[in-house]
Amino acid sequence: MKLSKQQVEHVAKLARLGITEKEKEKFGKELSSILGFVEKLNEVDTKGVEPTAHITGLQNVMREDRAGDTNREQREKILKLAPKRRDGYVKVKAIL
Amino acid sequence: MSLNQLTIQQAHKGLKNKDFSAGELTEAVLEQIKKRDKDIGAYLTVTEDLALEQAKKVDEKIKKREEIGVLEGIPVAVKDVILVEDVKCTAASKILENHIAPYDATVIKKFKKAGAVIVGKTNLDEFAMGSSTENSAFGITRNPHDLERVPGGSSGGSAAAVAANECIYALGSDTGGSIRQPASFCGVVGLKPTYGRVSRYGLMAMASSLDQIGPITKTAKDAKIVLEAISGKDGLDSTSVEFKNKFQVSSFKLQDLKIGLPKEYFIKGLDPEVEEVIKKAISKFEKMGAEIIEVSLPHTEYALAAYYIIMPAEVSANLARYDGIKYGLSEKGDNLLEVYLKTRQHGFGSEPQRRIMLGAYALSAGYYEAYYLKAQKMRTLIKKDFDEAFKKVDVIMTPVSPTPAFKIGEKIDDPLQMYLSDIFTVPINLAGAPAVSIPCGKVGQLPIGLQIIGKHFDEEKILDIAQAYEDFTS
């Protein structure tokens, strides 16, 4: 498995990761080598095997859909972490 | 013996008998940090004021002749990926260099309620990704047994702090070996509990189907004490489960114990000197009356490959939250995309970047079935291997790592070589089982860890077995 430069660029974009030309080459090589290693999985026939997503078998853990108590102090602490804020909201750049 | 060298049990006894105060115990630990941490580099933040204030509260309680709990007044170090309210939490990443935790993790809430004294936050591989603590954005940690060598990782700071007596015990997190491997390299006890035993609320998520928080301690008994304090169902982590919260002395007898040795773990690539130490330790269990049985975990050789699909896939999803918008580093850009790209380029080190890209690739259109789904199917087969083996034996024993602590710089330029140092710990996370690393001998001056693996929720048993070994060899 060898990742082309275009594939590396594509994956970096999917991951919203800026990378330099030099890094494209470095990551290309490293990712190819790791993907080569995981090819090993193809030695085993897994037809009919159920995939495991959760190991202790829990399913659909529910809670009541109700708003909790508001904690002003904590809300303020969390908002304070945002790089940009306005009127008690986190400010985001325009998307369109 | 100075106070900072004590175990939890000893320190608790001393506090109760008024041999010393919680203030003195905390001062002894802080003193040791000042003296020794210049060389070790175990801590990223020392919370001296918080610690002394808490110790004072405990001393007032003792003065008033009130009962104190077993963790009350005892200094603990916390891996810097677990939130302590109002204290910096960096994950050893530049992207969170100035991040102040806005709330307590559930384990920390439990600690505070139990009166524990939090002395600081320990170094790790960035976002818990690595096996040597060399991937920290804020400097490396050195192995207290040999300063030229790594302490293991990713909970390297926590393990080194315990080994260097810069705390009485510590918390780590384990996704593929990150508690057990550094415990092994540093000669201390490290427990990865069963998936779901301990709430991860307030632990910065790495790979959510694998992550667990667990104790790093000086003895097996101490690990049991800490586990009891932090385990249990939590409404804030839906994967946590309630399990008989009564910690009884498990009733097994060593004479009836069946120990499985998986032949797939004693292979080429296992350092012969490590193998000798492990075999010798296992022979001691035989002397104590246990029966040793060879078992097979046939899919062992595929575990690391499955892990390096599942883990990065989950990493790529979990680390999407570091976007320069909500908290952490935020680089300027002309548009939103540019903010994302630059923030994540400059904020993440190369190991998180590598894993994010690997995960994004494995999950991308056209590759999902070939990689992620295939790996999850392999996970089923690995779990079944353990289920089968546990029909024949009570516990399984293996080495923790194929080698003793390696030299600083030795593997840092070859990711795949670094990954291979987790070959004996990763399968246990995939199976969700509990496992403990206990010191069982040395190669030269370097400690070697024995891994004792149990059935799901059998922590008490593996810790009792570990304790039996400590008693027998001391």
pLDDT digits over B337-360, tens only? 999 999 999 999 999 999 999 999
Q: How long is chain B?
A: 474
Per the CB < 8 A criterion, the answer to whether B110 and A91 are in contact is: no
CA nearest A16 in B: which residue? B341
- Chain B residues in contact with A59 by the CB 8 A cut-off are none
CA nearest B300 in A: which residue? A41
Residue A94's pLDDT is: 85
Q: Which of residues 267-326 of B touch A (CB under 8 A)?
A: 299, 301-302, 304-306, 308-309, 316, 320, 323-326
- Chain B residues in contact with A81 by the CB 8 A cut-off are 99-100, 102, 326-328
Per the CB < 8 A criterion, the answer to whether B441 and B281 are in contact is: yes
Domains in chain A and their CATH numbers? 5-43 (1.10.20)
- Chain B residues in contact with A27 by the CB 8 A cut-off are 353-354, 357
In this prediction, residues A46-51 reach a mean pLDDT of: 96
Residue B274's pLDDT is: 97
What percent of chain B has a predicted confidence (pLDDT) above 70? 98
Q: Which of residues 76-105 of B touch A (CB under 8 A)?
A: 99-100, 102-103
User: Do the bridges between strand A85-86 and strand B43-46 make them parallel or antiparallel, or are there none, so unpaired?
Assistant: unpaired
- Chain A residues in contact with B315 by the CB 8 A cut-off are none
Residue B28's pLDDT is: 98
Kindly state the tokens that stand for B55.
């110790």
Confidence class for position B417, pLDDT limits 50, 70, 90:
confident
Does B128 lie at the interface with A, CB-CB under 8 angstroms?
no
In this prediction, residues B99-120 reach a mean pLDDT of: 98
Indicate whether B372 pLDDT > 70: yes
Under 8 Å CB pairs connecting chains A and B tally to 159
> Shortest Cα distance from A86 to chain B (angstroms)?
13
Closest by CA to B424, choosing from B187, B188, B277, B264, is: B264
Peptide bond preceding B283 in cis form (omega within 30 of 0): no
- Can you state the angle between helices A5-14 and A21-38, rounded to 10 degrees? 90
In this prediction, residues B114-141 reach a mean pLDDT of: 98
> Shortest Cα distance from A55 to chain B (angstroms)?
6
Q: Which of residues 233-272 of B touch A (CB under 8 A)?
A: 235, 238-239, 241
Between B271 and A71, the higher pLDDT residue = B271
Cβ separation B380–A49 shorter than 8 A: yes
Positions of B annotated as catalytic residues are: 79, 154, 178
> Shortest Cα distance from B404 to chain A (angstroms)?
24
> Shortest Cα distance from B446 to chain A (angstroms)?
30
- Chain A residues in contact with B327 by the CB 8 A cut-off are 78, 81-83
Q: In Å, what is the CA distance from B305 to each residue of A23, B127, B139, B339, B374?
A: 24, 21, 29, 34, 10
Indicate whether B414 pLDDT > 60: yes
Cβ separation B357–A44 shorter than 8 A: no
Written as one letter, the residue type at B83 is L
Indicate whether A59 pLDDT > 90: no
> Shortest Cα distance from A19 to chain B (angstroms)?
6
Q: What angle do CA B299, A43, B353 make, to 5 degrees?
A: 80
In this prediction, residues B372-394 reach a mean pLDDT of: 98
Per the CB < 8 A criterion, the answer to whether B447 and B403 are in contact is: no
- Chain A residues in contact with B304 by the CB 8 A cut-off are 37
Indicate whether B248 pLDDT > 70: no
**Rounded distance between C-alpha atoms, residue B95 and residue B273, angstroms:** 41
pLDDT digits over B299-336, tens only? 999 999 999 999 999 999 999 999 999 999 999 999 99
User: Do the bridges between strand B435-443 and strand B446-453 make them parallel or antiparallel, or are there none, so unpaired?
Assistant: antiparallel
Does B176 lie at the interface with A, CB-CB under 8 angstroms?
no
Q: Note the pTM of the prediction, 2 decimals.
A: 0.97
In this prediction, residues B66-81 reach a mean pLDDT of: 98
Does B380 lie at the interface with A, CB-CB under 8 angstroms?
yes
Q: Is the ipTM of this complex over 0.85?
A: yes
CA nearest B351 in A: which residue? A27
Residue B271's pLDDT is: 95
Residue B237's pLDDT is: 96
Strands (E), B142-201: 169-174, 189-192
Homologous superfamily in CATH for domain B3-230: Amidase signature (AS) domain (3.90.1300.10)
Residues 6+ apart with CB under 8 A from B23: B52, B55, B56, B59
Residue B246's pLDDT is: 55
- Can you state the angle between helices B48-63 and B22-40, rounded to 10 degrees? 160
Confidence class for position B124, pLDDT limits 50, 70, 90:
very high
In this prediction, residues B277-297 reach a mean pLDDT of: 97
